[in-house]
Structure 1
Amino acid sequence: MTLRITTQTMAASATRQLAAAQARLADAQDTATSLRRITRPSDDPAGAAQAMRVRAEVAANAQYGRNIDNGTAWLTGVDAALGDATRFLDSARDAVQQGLNAARTPADRIALADVIDGLRADLLGRANATYLGRSLFAGTSDQPAFVDGNPPTFTGVAGDAVHRRFGENQSVRVDADGAAIFGTGPTSVFATLDAISAELRAGGITASRLDDLDSARATLRTARADAGARLTTLEAAKDANQAAKVALESDRAALEDVDLGTAVLDLQVQQTSYQAALAVTAKTLQPTLMDFLR
């Protein structure tokens, strides 16, 4: 049986081949222009699903990075405030030692009491240290940690904490408990400084005040060491976050992006293929007598 191929059949086949070549050329042009392997989900459904998952991980990792930066700023503020507070108490201890010297005159002790009052005010200021308007020592409260009084009153949320998440199941506390560090009521460090000032103005001071200050200084040093350990945790998390960022970007690029050289080469191949198809079609579909008789 002889199969008869008509001119109309050849024309239809050539048209389909040209359309397919043109579509491949258009895809190659889109890829070379956008440098994206996947420009729509239909390009690669499986790859698009993987790319969406990786993009979600990239977004989560970026948020963790912002949390780490914010937490680092909080803990840096806490560390600075506790360092200042420790120096204030060191100065207060020196003043007490001078006040215990029997050679000091009443005027000298009054001057030392003024120094203690100034250190108390400075200490209260550092106890109310803030970052972006939030108290570093008041827990989740948006109010100052301490309101001045005799002694100052703790107005934060005792035992509450501010945390920052830096991993899927990882978080760290970024504030400090002002009530535990500075004390509350008559046992607070502020009450101790008030008592020292009063005793100096009265003309005498007991050596036990040195022990009170040493205890307060030890509490501050412990709190500062704890803040430093948490800051170290965030520094390590920062390094891990940056490494994850690089790895995730590499995964995303492998799924979505194309190499510029590869895209240009493919475009040239598709252009050559399309031009060749046009030339072959032109030679194959020669004009017939019917074309001239129309």
Structure 2
Amino acid sequence: MISRVTHQTVQRSTLANLQVNLSRIADLQGRLSGGKVITKPSDDPAGTASALRLRGDLRVTQQYQRNADDGVGWLTTVDASLQASVTALRQVRNLVVQGASTGASGPVPRAAIAAELEGLRDALLEQANSTYLGRPVFAGTTSAGHAYEVTPGDPPTYEWLGHEAGSVQRRVGPATTVRADSDGRLAFGDGDDSVFALIDRIVAELRAEDGEVGHFLADIDVRMEKMLAELADVGARYKQLTAAQVATEEAMVGLKGQIAAIEDIDLAEALVELQSQEVAYQAALGATARVLQPSLLDFIR
């Protein structure tokens, strides 16, 4: 059966085809202006799903990098404090050697050494109470604003304010967590075992009439070994975090490249396609003008 084709049918069909061509041009122009192949999920459902998954991975990786950056900030502060503390403790040792020598047997030189040792004790205490972003780096997750609290007395007491299991951890990978703080007890000790209390005992001996300080050298060496061991451990963790920074940066570059491969438009290809569509549209306009031109009036003239 042959369907009857009227002039209106031809007109509607032709205009519909023109509208399709115009829609393709508008779509290409939208992609070019946005620089994206996918402007809505229906453009490429599979590509959209892949891009969403990759963007989720990118956000996680960016968080890992922020964690690594923060951890580096913590450990940089810890390292600087320990370096300064090691230098101060070496000065303490030198002064004790000087105080134990016969040349410093008088009360005046011994009092001068004692005063200098007290200054170094205060400097060590200041380093032990170092903070990063307002948080003490040698006391873990404590809510206190400092790692060591001093109770005045004769002698004064020194209390570490950290928590046994309250360390600062930074996750820098799916299965990698790095400690970003330091246990102050390992470097400075706690209570009577602290380096501060040790210096107080040395000062007391220097100010005593017949005080002997030479035997304190062994205690200083033990504390120095512990401080250096903690410094080495901090250095190893610092290297781990800087390696994580590099790894996360490389991972982000890779993920961004994969997202771009899915979403970003090929500019040259899109321009060629747009030009082809415009040529086709212009040709369709010309053909339509000729097809739709005849009417009943054209025949009765």
State TM-score, norm by structure 1. Answer: 0.95
* Residues 160, 177 of structure 1: 8 Å contact kept: no
CA RMSD, 1 decimal: 1.6
**Whole-angstrom CA distance in 2 between matches of 1:59 and 1:263:** 30
**Whole-angstrom CA distance in 1 between matches of 2:150 and 2:298:** 103
1:1-80 equivalent positions in 2, closer than 5 A: 4-80=4-80
Task: Give runs of ≥4 in structure 1 deviating > 4 Å.
Answer: 1-4, 290-293
Read off the aligned partner of 2:283 and give its amino acid letter. A
* Residues 165, 171 of structure 1: 8 Å contact kept: yes
Aligned length: 293
Q: Residue in 1 aligned with 2:110?
A: 109
SS at match of 1:172: strand
Deviation at 1:280, TM superposition (A): 1.2
Change (3 A) 1:288 1:136: same
In structure 2, list runs of 5 or more residues that go unmatched: none
Q: What's the CA shift string for 1:99-138, capped at 9, x where partnerless? A: 0111212110100001110000000000000000010011
Change (3 A) 1:82 1:159: farther
**Whole-angstrom CA distance in 1 between matches of 2:2 and 2:30:** 44
Change (3 A) 1:228 1:292: farther
Deviation at 1:216, TM superposition (A): 0.5
Does residue 156 of structure 1 match 2:162?
Answer: yes
Does residue 233 of structure 1 match 2:240?
Answer: yes
SS at match of 2:103: coil
Match of 1:187 among 189, 193, 201: 193
* Residues 186, 227 of structure 2: 8 Å contact kept: no
Read off the aligned partner of 1:237 and give its amino acid letter. A
Q: Residue in 1 aligned with 2:134?
A: 133
Deviation at 1:290, TM superposition (A): 4.8
**Whole-angstrom CA distance in 2 between matches of 1:145 and 1:130:** 9
1:254-269 equivalent positions in 2, closer than 5 A: 254-269=261-276
* Residues 131, 137 of structure 2: 8 Å contact kept: yes
**Whole-angstrom CA distance in 2 between matches of 1:219 and 1:59:** 40
Question: Which segment is superposed worse, 6-15 or 284-293?
Answer: 284-293
**Whole-angstrom CA distance in 1 between matches of 2:108 and 2:134:** 41
SS at match of 2:102: coil
SS at match of 1:157: coil
Read off the aligned partner of 1:253 and give its amino acid letter. A
Change (3 A) 1:198 1:16: same
Deviation at 1:188, TM superposition (A): 1.2
Change (3 A) 1:189 1:159: farther
**Whole-angstrom CA distance in 1 between matches of 2:40 and 2:278:** 23
**Whole-angstrom CA distance in 2 between matches of 1:170 and 1:83:** 27
Deviation at 1:151, TM superposition (A): 2.2
Deviation at 1:219, TM superposition (A): 0.5
Read off the aligned partner of 2:78 and give its amino acid letter. V
**Whole-angstrom CA distance in 1 between matches of 2:55 and 2:299:** 61
SS at match of 1:147: strand
In structure 1, list runs of 5 or more residues that go unmatched: none
Question: Which segment is superposed worse, 168-177 or 90-99?
Answer: 168-177
**Whole-angstrom CA distance in 2 between matches of 1:290 and 1:161:** 93
Does residue 165 of structure 1 match 2:167?
Answer: no
**Whole-angstrom CA distance in 1 between matches of 2:36 and 2:2:** 49
**Whole-angstrom CA distance in 1 between matches of 2:299 and 2:150:** 106
**Whole-angstrom CA distance in 1 between matches of 2:212 and 2:78:** 32
* Residues 158, 178 of structure 1: 8 Å contact kept: no
SS at match of 2:182: coil
Does residue 206 of structure 1 match 2:208?
Answer: no
* Residues 32, 267 of structure 1: 8 Å contact kept: no
Read off the aligned partner of 1:52 and give its amino acid letter. L
Q: What's the CA shift string for 1:54-89, capped at 9, x where partnerless? A: 111111111111111110010111111111111111
Match of 2:147 among 145, 148, 153: 145
* Residues 159, 177 of structure 1: 8 Å contact kept: no
* Residues 18, 284 of structure 2: 8 Å contact kept: yes
Q: What's the CA shift string for 1:139-187, capped at 9, x where partnerless? A: 1013111012312111121342101111122110000011232111111
SS at match of 1:165: strand
Q: What's the CA shift string for 1:267-293, capped at 9, x where partnerless? A: 222211211111111112223125899
* Residues 158, 179 of structure 1: 8 Å contact kept: no
Q: What's the CA shift string for 1:18-48, capped at 9, x where partnerless? A: 1110110110110111011111111111111
Q: Residue in 1 aligned with 2:260?
A: 253
* Residues 186, 230 of structure 2: 8 Å contact kept: no
Give the % identical residues.
Answer: 43
